[in-house]
Structure 1
Amino acid sequence: MSNTESVYSSDLAGVVVGETAISDVQGEAGVLSYRGIDINDLVDASFLHVAWLVVFGEWPTGREQSAIKSFMCRHATLTDREQDLLKQVNRELHPMLMLQGMVPLLELPTEATLGRGLDAEQGLCIAAKISSLIAAHYRLGQNKSILEPTPGKLRHENFLTMFHGRAPSREQVRMLDAAQILQMEHSFNAGTFAGRVCASTLAPIQSSISASIGTLFGQLHGGADQAALEMAMAIGSPDKADAYVKDCLANKVKIMGMGHREYRTVDPRAKILKPMAVELCQDEESKNLLATLVAVEEACQREFGAKGKEIWANVEFYKGAVFHSLGIPTHYFTAMFAQARVYGYIAHFLEFRPQNKLIRPRALYNGTPPQSDKSAA
């Protein structure tokens, strides 16, 4: 096939590059499902049970529920070597760069114990350790000691305890569970696709996850949550939102967290997360930030509506308000995203590997035409 006959799309928009049974994003309808189950029916389920569903395509049995809880808690403990490596990392390094660098250095199982294959267990071990890496990196930056998970506690109860050094409320754990379930998987997003490209070379799962994390860091992908809340902080109050939006649109400045590449209507995850944010954001600072975000969304809708267009906030827009209320600093927001999305990365690695093909697209050359030796002379 010649270059002129090839399908060309610089951003792969509309180009089908593979098949998946993991999640279905129906952008026109505003519907998201994991393994055929609508996200609305999953958001109140056990976090680890949904993770098992995403990774393996079925609900865990009673024995598997106990096994995965024990496995994740056991592997969440960082080894002495891993702690020593982390202590050498610059305390000011962004958590996403820390994760991208640390993931390939983690000590992983060499034998399978869950009966799901070594790749799966190594991936789940990485997922377990990512939470501990985030908490430990934060505590080291605060000149505090690294804390270990407590057996028997819920996954996010352990994380928030290791992060803050105090036990969270039941409501805080419930909110974090829901927020993380909502961002666990989203089909062929940029981070997932980067991981599939890496996996296609037969690189190991830790390399694939590291590639995905590096891709997630960008503001046009996972970094939008940090950018959106920092935008609200910079605006200061709801009454200033309208002028801010008009100024951004006049100067063609992107408003982070508004609109989504896939959805042509309300992001179903934002529809769930927005009222949760209202429920959780009760202190004055959080209320003001949330009110400012709402005012920005409303101002955007007025401005776009005047031009006959619709725009809605995506999940990143209100997620930051939830994390802020949980005491998570803004520069850790995207690492929290990675903490959840890693289960999607694992699922795609496992789905892709058995039918692996090297991903090698063509490029349309637009440089200087080749010259023969005779013409060059």
Structure 2
Amino acid sequence: MTASKPLESFDLAGVVVGETAISNVEGDLGRLSYRGVDINELVQRPFANVAWLVLFGSDADAARQLQLNRFLCAHAALTQEERGILKRLPRHLHPMLVLQGMVPLIELPTEETLGLGLEAEQGLVLAAKLSGLIAAWYRAEQGLAPLGGGPDDNFHANFLTRLHGQVPDGDAVKILDATQILQMEHSFNAGTFAGRVCASTLAPIQSVISASIGTLYGRLHGGADQAALEMAQAIGAPEKAAAYVARCLAEKTKIMGMGHREYRTVDPRAKLLKPMAMALCHDPDSRRLLDTLIAVEQACQTEFAKRDKEIWANVEFYKGAVFHSLGIPSHFFTAMFAMARVYGYIAHFLEFRRDSRLIRPRARYVAAGSHAGE
């Protein structure tokens, strides 16, 4: 009998499982583009313009951007029923579990109002609700009541007002826009692919987004952002970074936020985020955390160079410092990721729906006790 192929070799890494026109990850070149537009250009645009481009494949003029901002701001407000459900949830729940559980419970519109198609508008309602849920859960953890939004013509200004109770300055909104644009879409990542699998069963959009959010929560996916900043907090100071990195490598412990499965050179998103973080982190605590992260990256590069290898920080690594400076606690970082990536999830749902086919891979049955290495 022919020896069984080791199960570990059955890996989807690099396997083409579909086509998309939404984003292109060119890992060998360190490039990322949405709808053919490079991320370096997109990060300079208004958030609503990029969200529209990702969703619908075209630029939104000023009138469309204002329409989208006002739609999102209006639907970010939680209904009385939604607030009632939140009140009954245990306060120790991680925000990502709250989002995953609440998304299927949101009552969606049954008629379109923007002329974009019902499923697209239902997706946008869910995108708006994520911001309202994050802000409400943040305040609930502190024993505070949810707040109404601020400006109705800027989605992220509205969100930060719901979060902290005061209208943010323009710099805070600008850097949140840029950070969320950078993590809006990334081709067939694990969360997006999970959503496409769910969509292939003809499940509704709220189930698809819930499945994607649940996948994003993992420490090897979106959860790396929380882990990276908490690592810096645990290290405590930049001068301790080298010893920490040496210990991790000796013990074969993963350093969260370092390296990326797709990029063979620097992650273009991290390349943009690092200077943003350096410009934003002024208070002593934020600066110490940022300097510690920089020291970890430098120590990693030094150690890997000794092995004739290269390693670079990924997008998760520096965005935690940005969020920390905006007053967002680390256990909410991945929820903020979901709040941005949801536009990619919606875009993939709409793209896949046009030519949907059930995704049903096969498994090779292995009799008990016959696994390789047993």
TM-score (normalizing by structure 2): 0.95
Which residue pairs with 2:264 in the alignment? 264
Which residue pairs with 1:300 in the alignment? 300
Which residue pairs with 1:118 in the alignment? 118
Q: How does 1:31-50 map to 2 (within 5 A)?
A: 31-50=31-50
Q: Are the aligned partners of 1:30 and 1:267 in contact in 2 as well (CA < 8 Å)?
A: yes
Q: How does 1:201-220 map to 2 (within 5 A)?
A: 201-220=201-220
Distance in 2, Cα, partners of 1:168 & 1:228: 26
Instruction: Note the C-alpha offset of 1:144.
Output: 0.9
Q: Are the aligned partners of 1:147 and 1:162 in contact in 2 as well (CA < 8 Å)?
A: yes
Distance in 2, Cα, partners of 1:307 & 1:76: 50
Distance in 2, Cα, partners of 1:150 & 1:249: 47
Deviations along 1:114-156, whole A, 9 cap, x unmatched? 1111110000000001001000011111111111223534111
- 5+ long unaligned stretches in structure 1: 370-377
Deviations along 1:55-84, whole A, 9 cap, x unmatched? 111112344223212211111111111111
Which amino acid in the other structure matches residue 11 of structure 2? D
Provide closer, same or farther for how the CA distance between residues 294 and 89 of structure 1 changes in structure 2, counting only shifts above 3 A.
Answer: same
Instruction: Note the C-alpha offset of 1:250.
Output: 0.4
Q: Are the aligned partners of 2:52 and 2:58 in contact in 1 as well (CA < 8 Å)?
A: yes
Which amino acid in the other structure matches residue 71 of structure 2? F
Which residue pairs with 2:366 in the alignment? 366
Q: Are the aligned partners of 2:69 and 2:153 in contact in 1 as well (CA < 8 Å)?
A: no
Which residue pairs with 1:184 in the alignment? 184
Deviations along 1:221-263, whole A, 9 cap, x unmatched? 0000000000000000011100100000000000000000000
Q: Are the aligned partners of 1:70 and 1:151 in contact in 2 as well (CA < 8 Å)?
A: no
Q: How does 1:324-363 map to 2 (within 5 A)?
A: 324-363=324-363
Provide closer, same or farther for how the CA distance between residues 61 and 332 of structure 1 changes in structure 2, counting only shifts above 3 A.
Answer: same
Which amino acid in the other structure matches residue 324 of structure 1? H
Q: Are the aligned partners of 1:23 and 1:186 in contact in 2 as well (CA < 8 Å)?
A: yes
Q: How does 1:132-171 map to 2 (within 5 A)?
A: 132-171=132-171
Distance in 1, Cα, partners of 2:251 & 2:118: 52
Name the SS for the 1:198 alignment partner. helix
Distance in 1, Cα, partners of 2:84 & 2:111: 24
Distance in 1, Cα, partners of 2:292 & 2:248: 15
Which amino acid in the other structure matches residue 240 of structure 1? K
Instruction: Note the C-alpha offset of 1:360.
Output: 0.4
Distance in 1, Cα, partners of 2:338 & 2:286: 23
Distance in 2, Cα, partners of 1:9 & 1:357: 26
Instruction: Note the C-alpha offset of 1:9.
Output: 5.0
Q: Are the aligned partners of 1:9 and 1:15 in contact in 2 as well (CA < 8 Å)?
A: no
Which amino acid in the other structure matches residue 40 of structure 1? N
Instruction: Note the C-alpha offset of 1:8.
Output: 8.8
Which amino acid in the other structure matches residue 250 of structure 2? A
Which residue pairs with 2:73 in the alignment? 73
Which residue pairs with 1:372 in the alignment? none
Which residue pairs with 1:274 in the alignment? 274
Provide closer, same or farther for how the CA distance between residues 37 and 94 of structure 1 changes in structure 2, counting only shifts above 3 A.
Answer: same
- Count, aligned residues: 367
Distance in 2, Cα, partners of 1:167 & 1:229: 26
Distance in 1, Cα, partners of 2:290 & 2:248: 20
Distance in 2, Cα, partners of 1:322 & 1:183: 13
Deviates more, 1:81-90 or 1:349-358: 81-90
Distance in 1, Cα, partners of 2:185 & 2:205: 17
Q: Are the aligned partners of 1:82 and 1:107 in contact in 2 as well (CA < 8 Å)?
A: no
Deviations along 1:10-37, whole A, 9 cap, x unmatched? 3301100000000000000000000000
- 5+ long unaligned stretches in structure 2: 370-374
Distance in 1, Cα, partners of 2:178 & 2:104: 28
Distance in 1, Cα, partners of 2:8 & 2:200: 22
Distance in 2, Cα, partners of 1:148 & 1:194: 33
Instruction: Note the C-alpha offset of 1:92.
Output: 1.4
Name the SS for the 1:355 alignment partner. coil
Distance in 1, Cα, partners of 2:213 & 2:223: 11
Deviations along 1:351-370, whole A, 9 cap, x unmatched? 0011000000011112159x
Which amino acid in the other structure matches residue 227 of structure 1? A
Deviations along 1:163-182, whole A, 9 cap, x unmatched? 11122111111111100000
Deviations along 1:279-330, whole A, 9 cap, x unmatched? 0000111111111000000000011111000000001000000000001000
Q: Are the aligned partners of 1:136 and 1:146 in contact in 2 as well (CA < 8 Å)?
A: yes
TM-score (normalizing by structure 1): 0.95
Runs of 4+ in 1 over 3 A off after TM superposition: 7-11
Which amino acid in the other structure matches residue 346 of structure 2? I
Instruction: Note the C-alpha offset of 1:88.
Output: 1.1
Which residue pairs with 1:374 in the alignment? none
Which amino acid in the other structure matches residue 119 of structure 2? D
Q: Are the aligned partners of 2:78 and 2:129 in contact in 1 as well (CA < 8 Å)?
A: yes
Which residue pairs with 2:58 in the alignment? 58
